Amino acid sequence: MATEVKRTLRDYESHKPTWCPGCGDYAVLLALKKALLNLNLDPSEVVIVSGIGCSGKISDYIKAYGYHGIHGRVLPTATAIKLANPKLTVIAAGGDGDGYAIGGNHFLHVSRRNPDITYIVMDNMIYGLTKGQTSPTSLRGFKTGTTPYGSVEGPIEPVYIALVMGATFVARGFSGDPKTLEVIFTEAIKHKGFSFVDVYSPCVTFNRFNTYDWFKANSVTLNGPFPTRAEAIAKIMEVWNSGKVPLGIFYREEGTPTYEGQLVRDINLAPALQDITDKVWKEKVKRIIEEKYV
């Protein structure tokens, strides 16, 4: 009988991060590594897919497989990896610019497809790597070098969008509360389906308005998850419309077929994805390619 390997945090340690001192992404990194430890996941069976921006460095800072992709393409890459090897734990990570601007269309469609991946967005309400332009989540009136008179655009509410589009696990954390963030990440990774976690992660260099103190004063933790999407949406928008920002696990839907699981059933590869061995999977995929394209 095989003995279960007991890991420590050091098993997920890579090289030292180079974010600005005080950046909220440090707490995201630590909480994510602790979540992996809580689940005792083998680093060789974990893939971190990241995008462009300060947050994109996170795939370098965790001892696991990493893929640092191009701007806005985190989610299709993560989905493809999960399809290629369904036994992997796939975690996508990026920022609000990467995920909600150029990557916004992928966010919509991955939410409705429900692949078994976790998507973590480090939301600092600004473009940090390119020195401080407004992002899709910047508040109306926010002043930057490119909006000196204040932004005329209103912000999006990504957790609302994820719920409307069908994501089966939707939550939001805050870098100023890393213990709760660890719990949220652990639950998100455990969930079978698309898990979306927006994280308010302050940029201490370019966003001097949405600071740690601002989030502490303006956030409301909701007592979720709520039993229906409609109730979760109503509670979120109630807080949002009051001028505050909601935190917590808002919704969790168990038992919904995953994207990769449905594809397997549709092409009659196997009745249950978890029972497919690597050898059988490769043989059947090879047969499909030969039948379709040769």
pLDDT at 270: 45
- The DSSP 8-state label assigned to residue 256 in this structure reads P
Comparison of pLDDT for 285 and 151, the residue scoring more: 151
> What's the rounded mean pLDDT across residues 145-160?
92
What share of the chain in percent tops pLDDT 90? 74
Instruction: State the amino acid at position 38 in one-letter form.
Output: N
- Residues contacting 230, CB < 8 A, separation 6+: none
Label residue 95 by pLDDT band (50, 70, 90): very high
pLDDT at 276: 53
> What's the rounded mean pLDDT across residues 215-242?
95
Of the listed ranges 14-23, 159-168, 185-194, 258-267, the one predicted with least confidence: 258-267
pTM, 2 dp: 0.88
Nearest CA-CA partner of 72 in 86, 55, 90, 60: 55
- Residues contacting 177, CB < 8 A, separation 6+: 247
- Residues contacting 129, CB < 8 A, separation 6+: 52, 53, 54
- Residues contacting 126, CB < 8 A, separation 6+: 132, 133, 134, 135, 138, 142, 144, 203, 206, 207, 210
pLDDT digits (tens, 9 = 90+) for 54-85: 899 999 999 999 999 888 899 999 999 999 89
pLDDT at 277: 56
3-state secondary structure of 33: helix
Q: Which structural domains are found in the chain, ordered by start?
A: 9-256 (3.40.50.970), 257-294 (no CATH)
pLDDT at 271: 47
Buried-state track 187-221, b at ≥16 Cβ within 10 A, e below 16: bbbebebbbbbbbbbbbbbbbeebebebbeeebee
First to last CA, the chain: 44
Instruction: State the amino acid at position 171 in one-letter form.
Output: A
pLDDT at 285: 66
